[in-house]
Amino acid sequence: MKRISRVLLVIAIMVFGFNLKSGDRPMHEIHSMLMFNFIKYVEWPTDAKAGNFVIAVVGDEDVASTIQNFYTNRTVKGQTVKVVNVDDVSAVNNAHVLYISSNKSREFDEAKEKFAGKSTLMITDKSGLGKKGSCINFQEINGKLKFEINQASIKGNNLKVSTQLSSMGILI
């Protein structure tokens, strides 16, 4: 029952957005929490289900640390989670999830080219990157944090997003 309540709370927050003016939680915690939940609603192809489940964070040590704390002693889709915290995209060779912080958004084009066609869920935090090809992009709308889902990028990276997640995001 407690788990169902948490899931419903997270879904409600995702649907209505986080009020950015509330200041209750630091942004890195909000991004980390949402990414943690995004992963639950994405399906990777069979060939991506071997080895570690790699989550690479570019440019935000706080997000990397929070994600690491979420996944301590947990698995994702039957795989052990490995969180990689790097300063630039060139340091990442393989990842199931690639998060590029807003302060590293200038590296988006390099990441898009490097991970094109690979089974990588690319998550960004900069206006315009959703339309430019990020799989999921955080977007502020009327003082609330929402997220865009680029369906072509998801499909191009051989990923499947559940209808539950699609219904909560802004489809582009």
Please state the length of the chain. Answer: 172
* Domain boundaries defined on the chain: 2-171
pLDDT at site 25: 78
What is the pLDDT, as a whole number, of residue 20?
47
CA atoms lying within 13 Å on the CB side of residue 15: 8
- Most distant pair of Cα atoms in the chain: their distance: 44
Neighbours of 75 (CB within 10 A): 11
Position 9 scores a pLDDT of 46
> Rounded CA gap, 35 and 126, in Å?
15
Tens place of pLDDT per residue across the chain (172 aa): 555 545 544 555 554 455 544 457 789 899 999 999 999 999 999 999 999 999 999 999 999 999 999 888 889 989 999 999 999 999 999 999 999 999 999 999 999 999 999 999 999 999 999 999 999 999 988 888 999 999 999 999 999 999 999 999 999 9
Q: Give residue 7's pLDDT.
A: 53
3-state secondary structure of 53: strand
Tell me the C-alpha distance between 50 and 44, whole Å. Answer: 11
How high is the pLDDT of residue 10? 53
Place of tokens 């939940």: 37
Q: How far apart are CA 80 and CA 84, in angstroms?
A: 13
Q: What is the second-level CATH architecture of the domain 2-171?
A: 3-Layer(aba) Sandwich (3.40)
What is the pTM for the complete model shown?
0.86
Instruction: Give helix 2-16 / helix 27-40 axis angle, nearest 10°.
Output: 110
